[in-house]
Structure 1
Amino acid sequence: MTSITLSRICWATPDGHVVLNDLDLNFGQERTGLVGRNGIGKSTLLKIITGELQPLAGGIRANGTFGLLKQSVQPDERETVADLFGVARALALLRRAEAGAADAEELADADWTLADRIIAALGRVGLDAGPDTRLTELSGGQRTRASLAAAVFAAPDFLLLDEPTNNLDRPGREAVIALLAGWRAGAIVVSHDRELLDRMDAIVELTSLGATRYGGNWTRYRERKATELEAAQQDLAHAETQAAEVRRKTQRAAEQKDRWDAAGSRKAAQGDMPRILLGTRKSNAEASRGAGAKLADRQRAEAQAALASARSRIEILRDLSVALPSTGLPPNRTVLRLDGVTAGHDPGDPVIRDLSFTIEGPERVAIVGPNGSGKTTLVTLIAGGIPPVRGTVSVAVDFALLDQRVGILEPAASILDNFRRLNPGETDNACRAALARFLFRADAALQQVGTLSGGQTLRAGLACVLGGTRPPALLILDEPTNHLDIESIEAMEAGLRSYDGAILLVSHDEAFMTNIGIVRRLDLAPPDGQRM
C-alpha cells in the first residue's frame, strides 16, 4: 500500500533557525491539504519528502512514486512543454523515426502515442498547447497548468502540489479543482485557496507547536479548530486564575508568618519568657517556615506546570496589522491616463490593442481577464517596464508596483537594507518600527530577502513600500494574495481598506477584490484565436 511516513523530522535553515522539529506525520491514499502560516515549513516539508532537502534528524519512508508541482516555473528561452514533461528525447526519437533516421533498436523504444497523450494531459487542465510550445510563450498561469499536467502525466502514486492555483484565472482554478476531485491516488496540497481546500479529505496544520491532522475538508477543519481554540482558551484562563490565586495565598501566608515572627521577637525582647521555651519556639518556627516554603514551592510548581500545559495548546500568534499614514491624494486628482495604447513584449504581436482608460482620485480598479490576456503586460507598461507601441501612458502621481516576484526588492540584501534603500531619509528607529508593524522585529529584519518564503517576501515588499512616512498615492498590485496564508490575506485586506490612495489590482481572488472595495473592473479580452 502506498504511503509516506515521516518520523521525528528536524530541519533548520543554514543560520540555525529551526523550521521543523521532531515532526511525525503519515500520508496515505487520500487528498490532504497542508496549511499553516508563511514560513512555517510547508514547502520545506514537500522538499524533504521528495529528497530535494535532507533532514537534520529523523527518517522518511515512502512507498510509491511522486508527481511534483513547485510554486513557480522560470523557463529557459529554449525550453518547451516537452522539456517540462521530461520527454524531449523521446519526442526527438519519434521525429528521427518519421524522417527515416532511426535504427531498429531505437524504433523498438518509440512511443507513437506520446504526443497525443501529452496533448490530452494538457487538455485535462484546460490548456490548448502542444509538446513543442515554448514555455516562454505561456503566461505564468498557463505554465502552472502545464506543470500540473506534467505532474499527473505518469500517473504517480502521490501528487505533491505547492500552491497549484496560484496565477490561475477562474477557468484554470476550476480545472485544478476538477482534476483533484477525480484524483483517487494520494495527494499532498499546500494551498491557501479555501475553495480548493474544501475538496480535501483531510487537513494537516503546521504550527510552531508541530503538526495536527484533522479529518475532513477546510470547512470542517475550521469548525473543529474554533471549538478546540475556545476550549484551550478557557483552560488557559482557568490556569492563569489558579496561578494568580497560588501567588496571592503564598504572599498572604508569608506576610502572616512575618507578623508572627515579629510578635515573638518583641516578646522575647521583653525578657518574660524562659530561655528553653524561646529555643523551642524558635525551632518550631524554623521548621514551620521550612515546611511552608516547601508547600509554597510545590503549589507554585504545580500551578506553573498547569499554566504551561494550557499555553502549549495555543500557538501564540502575532497578527499582521497594517496601519498606514495618509497619502494626501485629493478626490478628483487624475492618477493615471492611457490614451489609445497598443503594447506588448513583442511589438509585432501586441497583446494590448487601442486601450484607453483613466483612474481619478482614490479609485480602486481591478484588471481582470483570463491568463494570457495581457494583465501583467499592462501593469508592466504602466510602471514603465516596456514602452507603448502606440498611444500614451501618463502616471501623474508617485506609485509603487508589487509584482508577482516582488522585483522591487534586492534578494541579496536584508529586509532592513531594502527598506532604507526604498525610504531614504528615514531614521533607523523609524525603519525598525515600520518593519515591526509587518512582523519583522529585531533580528527578523536582518534576514536576507533571498532566503524568505514567497509569502514572507511579499510581506517584506509591502513593508518596504507602504511602511514609510508617506506611502505612494498609487499602489499597483499584481496577484498580491498568491503566496500569502489566509490570516495574512485577511490582515492585508484590513490594511488596504485603510489606505487612502488609488489601487490598481490584478487578481483572480473574488473575495479579496470584494473585501478591499474594488469599485470598477477593466476586463481584458483574450488574444484572438486563443482558447483559455
Structure 2
Amino acid sequence: MSAITLSNLAWSTPDDRIVFADLHLSFGAERAGLVGRNGVGKTTLLRLIAGALPVQTGKITVTGTIGVLRQTVQLKADETVADLFGARDALALLRRAEQGAAGIEELGEADWTLEDRIAAALGRVGLDATADTPLSALSGGQRTRASLAGVVFTEPDFLLLDEPTNNLDRAGRDAVIALLAGWRAGAIVVSHDRDLLETMDAIVEMTTLGATRYGGNWSRYRERKALELAAAERDLAEAERQVAEVARGAQETAERKARKDGAGKRKGAKGDMPRILIGARKDRAEDTGGENRRLAERRGAQVAEAAAAARARVETVKPFSVALAPTGLPANRTVLEIHDVTAGHVPGRPILSDLSLAISGPERVAVTGPNGSGKTTLLALVTGQLKPWTGAVRVAADIAMLDQRVSLLDPTASIRDNFVRLNGERDENACRAALARFMFRADAALQIVSTLSGGQILRAGLACVLGGRKPPSLLILDEPTNHLDIDSIEAVEAGLRAYDGALLVVSHDEAFLEAIGIARRVRLTLPGPHS
C-alpha cells in the first residue's frame, strides 16, 4: 500500500533559522491540503518529500511513486508539450514509423496509443493542445495545466502540487479542481485556493508550533479550528485568572504578615513579653514567612507555566479589523465611464473592441474572463497607462491601483516612509495610528518593504492607500490574492470590507470576490480570429 511517512522531521535555513521541527505526519491514498502562513515551510516540505532537498534531521519514508508538478519558468526554444510528458523520443519514433523509416526492432517498441493517451490527459485539464504544441505558444496558465496533465499521465501513487491554480483563469481553475475531485490516489496540495481545498479529504495545517491534521475539507477544518481556538482561548483566560489569583493571594499574605509582625513589635516594645519569647516568635515568623514565600513562588511558577502553555496553544493573529475614514463618495456620482473603447498593444490587433462600462457611487465591480481576454489591458486604460484607439475613457474621481507587485510602494523605503510620501498631509501620530490599524505597530512600521512577505506588502499597500485622511474614491486591484496565504487574504478582505468607496477588481478567486461584496461582474471574452 502506498504511503508517505515523516518521522521527527526538522529543517533549518543556512543561517540556522528553524523553519519547522519535530514533524510527525503520514499520508495515504487521500487528497490532503497543506495550509499555513507564508514562511512556515510548506514548499520546503514538498521538496523534501520529492527528494529535491536532503533531509537534515528525521526520516521520510515513501512507498510508491511520486509525481511533482513542474514549474516551467524558463523555456527552451524547441520544447513542446511532449517534453512535459517525457515523450519526445517515443513520439519521434512514432513519426519515423509513420514515414516508414523505423526498423523492425523499433516498430516493436512503438507505443501506438501514446498520442491518444496524451490527448486524453490534456482533456482532463481542459486544455486544447496536442503533443506537438510548442510550450512558447501557451500562456503561463496553459503551461501549468499542460504540466499537470504530464504529471497525472504517469498515474503516480502521489501527486505533489504547489499552488496548482495560481495564475489560472476560471476555466483553468475549474479544470484543476475537477481533476483533483476525481483523483483516487494520493495527493499533497499546497494551496490558498479555498474552492480547491473544499475538494480535499484532509487539511494539514502547518504553524510555528508544528503540523496538525484535520479530517475533512476546508469548511470542516474551519469549523474544527474555530472550536479549537475557542477552547484554547478559554484555557488561556482561566490560566491568566489563576496567575492573577496567585499574585493577589501572595500580596494578601504579605500584608497579613506585615500587620502581624508590626503588632508583635509594638507589643514587644511595651515590655509585656519576655526577651526570650520575643526571639522565639521572631524565629518562627521568619521560618513561616520563608516557607510561605517558597510555597507562593512554587505556586506562582506552576500557574505561570500553565499560562505560557495556554498561550502557546493559541498561535493566532488578532482578528484583523480596521476603521477607515469615509471617502465621501455620493451614491449617484459616476466615477468611471468607458464608452465604445477599442484598444490593444499591437497595431491592427485589438484586445478590447467596442467596450463600454460605467461605475457609479460605491459599486463593487469584478472584471473576469479567460487569460488573454484583456483584463490587464482594461486596467491600463483606466489608470492612463494605455490610450484607447477609439472611444473615450473618463475617470471622474481620485483613484489608486494596487497591482500584483504593489509597485506604488518604494521597495527600498520603510512602510512608514512610504506612507508619509503618499500621504504628505498626515503627521507622525496620524501615520503611526493608520499603520497600526493595518497591524504595523511600533517597529513593524519601520520594516523595509523589500524584506516583507507578499501578504505583508499588499497589506502595507492597503495601509498607505486607505489609511490617509481621505481614501481614494475608486480603488483598483489586479489579482490581489495571488501568492498570498489564506491568513493574508482574509486580512485583505477585512480591510476591503471596511472601505466605502468604489472597487474595480480583476480576480479569478471566487471566494475572495464573494467575501468583499462584489455586486456586478463584467466578463471579457478572447479576441476573435480577425484580430
**Corresponding residue for 1:476?**
476
Residue 262 of structure 1 deviates from its aligned partner by 0.8
1:303 aligns with 2:313: no
Residues 266-281 of structure 1 aligned to structure 2 (within 5 Å):
266-281=266-281
Residue 354 of structure 1 and its aligned partner are, at CA, apart by 1.4
1:237 is aligned to 2:237: yes
TM-score normalised over the length of structure 1:
0.85
Kindly report the root-mean-square deviation, in angstroms, between the aligned alpha carbons of the 2 structures.
3.6
Over 3 Å counting, the alpha-carbon distance change for 1:147 and 1:337 in structure 2 is farther
Identify the range of structure 1 (352-361 vs 87-96) with the bigger mean alpha-carbon deviation.
Answer: 87-96
More displaced stretch, 404-413 vs 460-469: 404-413
The offset of 1:257, in angstroms, is 0.7
SS at match of 1:355: strand
The CA deviation at 1:229 is 2.7
Offset from partner CA, 1:26-50 (integer Å, 9 cap, x none)? 2222111112234433233323333
Cα shift at 1:282: 1.4
Residue deviations 1:305-356 (CA, integer Å, cap 9, x gap): 2222333322232233333333344444442222322233444433321112
Alignment-derived partner of residue 314 in structure 1: 314
Residue aligned with 2:40, SS: coil
Query: Which residue does 1:215 correspond to in 2?
Result: 215
Consecutive unaligned residues of structure 1, counting only runs of 5 or more, are: none
| Paired positions, count | 529
Mapped contact 1:367–1:522 kept (Cα < 8 A): yes
Residue correspondence of structure 1 range 491-530 to structure 2 within 5 A = 491-528=491-528
| Closer/same/farther in 2, CA of residues 89 and 427 from structure 1, 3 Å limit | farther
Q: Which amino acid aligns with 2:261?
A: D
- Whether contact under 8 Å (1:344, 1:377) holds in the other structure is yes
- Per the alignment, in what secondary structure is the counterpart of residue 499 of structure 1? coil
- Give the aligned residue type for 2:250: T
Taking structure 2 as the reference length, what is the TM-score of the superposition?
0.85
Cα offset for 1:91?
5.1
Q: Distance in 1 between matches of 2:76 and 2:146?
A: 16
- What is the identity, as a one-letter code, of the residue corresponding to 1:27? F
Q: Say whether the 8 Å CA contact 2:194–2:511 is kept in structure 1.
A: no
What is the identity, as a one-letter code, of the residue corresponding to 1:354?
D
Q: Percent identity?
A: 67
Q: Distance in 2 between matches of 1:263 and 1:508?
A: 78
CA shift in 2, pair 1:240/1:257, >3 Å: same
Aligned to 1:49: 49
Query: Displacement, 1:15?
Result: 6.4
The Cα offsets for residues 162-220 of structure 1, whole Å up to 9 and x where unpaired, read as 23333444443332222112212211112233333232222111122211112222233
Q: Does the aligned pair in 1 maintain the 2:38–2:453 contact within 8 Å?
A: yes
Task: Using the TM superposition, give the Cα deviation of residue 476 of structure 1 relative to its aligned residue in structure 2, in angstroms.
Answer: 1.3
- Distance of 2:293 and 2:484 partners within structure 1: 52
Long gaps (5+) in structure 2: none
Contact 1:39–1:456 (8 Å) recurs in 2: no
Correspondence for 2:32: 32
Q: Report what 1:286 is aligned to.
A: 286
Larger mean CA deviation between 19-28 and 9-18 belongs to 9-18
Q: Are the equivalent residues in 2 in contact too, given 1:166–1:482 (CA < 8 A)?
A: yes
Structure-to-structure mapping, 1:162-241, within 5 angstroms: 162-241=162-241
Query: 1:148-163 residue pairs with structure 2 within 5 A?
Result: 148-163=148-163
Q: Structure 2 matches for 1:313-462, cutoff 5 A?
A: 313-409=313-409, 419=419, 432-441=432-441, 444-445=444-445, 452-462=452-462
Q: Once the two structures are superposed, what CA deviation does each residue of 1:218-237 show, in whole Å capped at 9, x if it has no partner?
A: 23323332333333233223
More deviation, 152-161/224-233: 224-233
Q: Deviations over 1:271-295 (max 9, x none)?
A: 2322211221111111111111111
Going from structure 1 to structure 2, the CA distance change for 1:502 and 1:83 (only over 3 Å counts) comes to: farther
Q: What CA distance in whole angstroms lies between the structure 1 residues aligned with 2:337 and 2:97?
A: 56
Kept after mapping to 2: 8 A contact 1:38/1:456: no
The answer on whether the counterparts of 2:459 and 2:492 sit within 8 Å (CA) in structure 1 is: no
Shift of 1:124: 0.5
Deviations 1:385-438 (A, max 9, x none): 444343333334343333344454566766556556655676666555544433
- How far, CA to CA, are the matches of 1:91 and 1:405 in structure 2? 41
2:28 maps to a residue whose letter is G
Q: Is the 8 A contact 2:366 2:513 kept in 1?
A: yes
State the AA in 2 paired with 1:252: E
Paired residues of 1:39 and 1:452 also in contact (CA < 8 A) = no
Q: 1:379 to 1:130 in 2, by over 3 A?
A: farther
Where 1:206 maps in the other structure, the secondary structure is: strand
CA contact (8 A) 1:12 1:18 kept: yes
Q: Distance in 1 between matches of 2:73 and 2:40?
A: 24
When residues 376 and 190 of structure 1 are mapped into structure 2, their CA distance, relative to the original with a 3 A threshold, is same
Q: After superposition, what is the alpha-carbon deviation per residue over 1:366-400, rounded to whole angstroms, capped at 9, x for unaligned?
A: 21234443323322343344443433333343433
User: 2:456 touches 2:488 (CA, 8 Å); kept in 1?
Assistant: no
Residue 460 (structure 1) shift: 3.7
Contact 2:350 2:527 in 1 (8 A): no
Q: Which amino acid aligns with 1:37?
A: R
Q: 1:445 to 1:45 in 2, by over 3 A?
A: farther
Single out whichever of 203-212 and 94-103 deviates more from structure 2: 94-103
Moved more, 486-495 or 234-243: 486-495
Greater Cα shift, 7-16 or 219-228: 7-16
Counterpart Cα distance in 1 of 2:451 and 2:66: 26
Change (3 A) 1:201 1:397: same
Aligned residue number for residue 22 of structure 2? 22
Q: 1:352 to 1:101 in 2, by over 3 A?
A: farther
Distance 1:519 1:64 in 2: 48
Q: CA deviation at 1:104?
A: 8.9
SS at match of 1:254: helix
